[in-house]
Chains A and B, each alone.
Chain A
Amino acid sequence: MAAPRSCGLWRYCCRGWSCSTGDCRLPRLHRSWARATPSARLLSQEKRAAETHFGFETVSEEEKGGKVYQVFESVAKKYDVMNDMMSLGIHRAWKDLLIKKMHPLPGTQLLDVAGGTGDIAFRFLTYVQAQHQRKRRRQLRAQQNLSWEEIAKKYQNEEDPLGGSLVMVCDINREMLKVGKQKALDQGHTAGLAWVLGDAEELPFDDDQFDVYTIAFGIRNVTHIDRALQEAHRVLKPGGRFLCLEFSQVNDPLISRLYDLYSFQVIPVIGEVIAGDWKSYQYLVESIRKFPNQEEFKEMIEDAGFQKVTYESLTTGIVAIHSGFKL
């Protein structure tokens, strides 16, 4: 396709720029994945003075990023509580389904974009740990005629309970990452996690790095969704999988009306009472309405170069999981 190739051309020109260490906040282990970020934008020939939507408001594209940042900065501390209240706890089932669909095996490198408070990352780590334990138990059972000492040694030599899996949590918002890091400490997730401050439209990683790329309830807040999809395609290894969990369009007209009523009448009220913030939750429900439906989003993913793109609607279409492969 013409679009990704031409973007690849100017991105290739920019790769010579050195990484400004002030912007790349990466742990020492992963500096190999660092690359230039803000300077690349200067070479872009297209001057965007265009407008976009911020919920039902119209704002300039430069403004939208800042406004979305402020929204998440103010909701970060109550983000999880509000998720539970607004979705009546169903968001947990959606996220569990995403991981089940991913079915990651030990050794998977996951990039979770807009993963701020770490819901997907922690579920991934738990799943992979369980898989790894199951694999080891199967291995031990298959090996017949082992002495007690040898079995004990096998259990003791557990160097990596995750079997080499790693998850990078990337988010543009510092407050959300702070909350996520604290949650990791509280829940006891120490190994296999890395926290990176980065923009989904310009990821601070090299090409062909990750096995799976996920973005859960984040892509509708991105100013240029097509750029985020192209970046996703770039950082995935060939054979890598793109998974997106996002609010989508409800199929049933009656449920759609009830859903709209609940969204616009009840959710901002809950936001005001619990978090003291009406406007952020108003933006949230409006941004859901502005996001393309299942089919349109599938086409956008295909335009970015992914193949075998499918989607699965959950809870009558309130959310949908889109999946694509880089082949």
Chain B
Amino acid sequence: MVTLLLRSLRPHRSLPLRLRLVVDVPLRAGSHGPRLLYPGHIPTTSLQKMLLAAGSAGMALYNPYRHDMVAVLGETTGYCTLKFLRDQMKKDPEGAQILQERPRISLSTLDLRKLQSLPEGSLGREYLRFLDMNRVSPDTRAPTRFVDDEELAYVIQRYREVHDMLHTLLGMPTNMLGEIVVKWFEAVQTGLPMCILGALFGPIRLRAQNLQVLFSELIPWAIQNGRKAPCVLNLYYERRWEQSLTALREELGISPPPKHIQGLA
């Protein structure tokens, strides 16, 4: 019907070009205008989500430095799991507060001087030490784009920002081995398909000696702690900076990490 309309308009050369163009029908989900659920949202069809999931999985495996691909994989595959996580958060009082207040962890919201002044062994101080030692910053997390629900977009953003906290809690560095261990922990905790895929396929890129340590000690330790600990998304970390790290680990039931992880690449 649209083509008939266009064909009827074409002989009228006197029509201004702009009017002719207005008749064109957008053939895909609008990426601007009232259909946007949150800033940065890109509406996608199921076909696009499937292609994105496949493409980002392949690219993330081919080039592990493409963190944005891991993020995209998480967004496109995690819809159902995110709903489950959101419901879990609502049931827990601290989690419900997080959903209500929507705190964000970024350099602009963190008071670095205050964290520096905290005593050694406190969560805030150890988190800062982790950022410095591994030369990472909380601002490198890409914003959510492909989740088609505003609250779930926040949940996955929170999960990403809490990821660094998990590194601190588990005492894992940000090298490939450390990341895989954290992924195993997250896979057991959250059940996000991206974590599961990362946990299963990440070891492909490791060297043989690391693989041995991974399978013999680190993975069983991660799984055990993941099962014991309550949902880590329910912790209001911003209110717990002064809490001692060992006390927090005890509260969550996380046993200390195997000591020789630091020496491995």
A264-313 residues with Cβ-Cβ distance < 8 A to B are: 264-266, 268-270, 272-274, 276, 278-279, 282, 286, 289-290, 292-293, 295-296, 299
Contact A282-B51, Cβ < 8 Å, known A53-B21, A289-B24: no
- Whether B134 is near chain A, meaning CB under 8 Å from some CB there, is no
Q: Apart from A266-B51, A278-B145, what 12 extra A-B contacts exist at CB < 8 Å?
A: A56-B24, A57-B32, A264-B27, A269-B48, A269-B52, A269-B55, A273-B58, A273-B69, A278-B42, A289-B27, A290-B21, A292-B17
A-B pairs with CB below 8 Å: how many?
Answer: 54
Counting CB contacts under 8 A, is A253 at the interface? yes
Q: What separation, in Å, do the CA atoms of A289 and B47 have in the docked complex?
A: 21
| Cross-chain contact of B28 among A53, A265, A273 (Cβ < 8 A) | A265
Closest to A293 in B: B10
The reply on B230 being an interface residue by CB < 8 A is no
Q: Is the interface of A mostly helix, strand, loop or mixed?
A: helix
Contacts of A292 in B (CB 8 A): 17
A273 and B145 form a contact (CB under 8 A): no
Residues in A whose Cβ lies below 8 Å from that of B145: 278
User: Min CB distance, B145 to chain A, in Å?
Assistant: 7
B68 at the interface (CB under 8 A from A): yes
B-binding residues in A (CB < 8 A): 51-53, 56-57, 253, 260, 264-266, 268-270, 272-274, 276, 278-279, 282, 286, 289-290, 292-293, 295-296, 299
B45:A265 contact, CB within 8 angstroms: yes
B24 touches A273 (CB 8 A): no
Complex Cα gap A290–B24 (Å): 8
B-chain residues with CB within 8 Å of residue A276 when the two chains form the complex:
66, 68
User: Bound complex: CA of A286 vs CA of B24, how far in Å?
Assistant: 11
- For A300, the closest partner residue in chain B by CB is B17
Question: For the complex, is B223 an interface residue (Cβ under 8 Å from A)?
Answer: no
Residue of A nearest to B59 (CB): A273
A268 to B44, CA, bound (A): 10
Does B257 sit within 8 A of A, measured CB to CB? no
Q: Does residue B31 face the partner (Cβ distance < 8 Å to A)? A: yes
Partner among A56, A269, A290 whose Cβ is within 8 Å of the Cβ of B30: A56
Interface positions, chain B 36-60, Cβ under 8 Å from A, are: 42, 45, 47-48, 51-52, 55-56, 58-59
Chain B positions within 8 Å of A274 at CB level: 59
Whether the pair B56, A56 counts as a contact (CB closer than 8 A) is: no
CA distance A92 to B66 in the complex (A): 29
B-chain residues with CB within 8 Å of residue A282 when the two chains form the complex: 31
CA distance A276 to B55 in the complex (A): 11
Interface presence of B3 (CB below 8 A): yes
Q: Which residue of A lies closest to B53 (CB)?
A: A269
Residue B194, interface by CB 8 Å: no
Cβ contacts under 8 Å, B56 to chain A: 272-273
Judge whether B31 and A279 touch: CB under 8 Å: yes
Residues facing A in B1-37 (CB within 8 A) are 3, 10, 13, 17-18, 21, 24, 26-28, 30-32
| CA of A296 to CA of B68, assembled, Å | 42
Q: In the bound complex, do residue A272 and residue B24 qualify as a contact, i.e. CB atoms below 8 Å apart?
A: no
Query: CB-nearest residue of chain B relative to A264?
Result: B28
- Chain B residues positioned under 8 Å from A268 (CB to CB): 48
Which residue of B26, B28, B30, B52 is within 8 Å of A272 (Cβ)?
Answer: B52
0/1 interface trace, chain B 63-78, chain A, CB 8 Å (1 if under): 0001011001000000
Structural contact, A270 and B55, CB atoms closer than 8 A: yes
Known contacts A53-B21, A292-B17; A265/B48 CB under 8 A: yes
Q: How far is the CB of B210 from chain A (nearest CB, A)?
A: 28
| CB of A241, distance to nearest CB on chain B (Å) | 26
Q: B32: which A residues are within 8 A, CB to CB?
A: 56-57
Residues from chain A with a CB closer than 8 A to the CB of B58 are 273
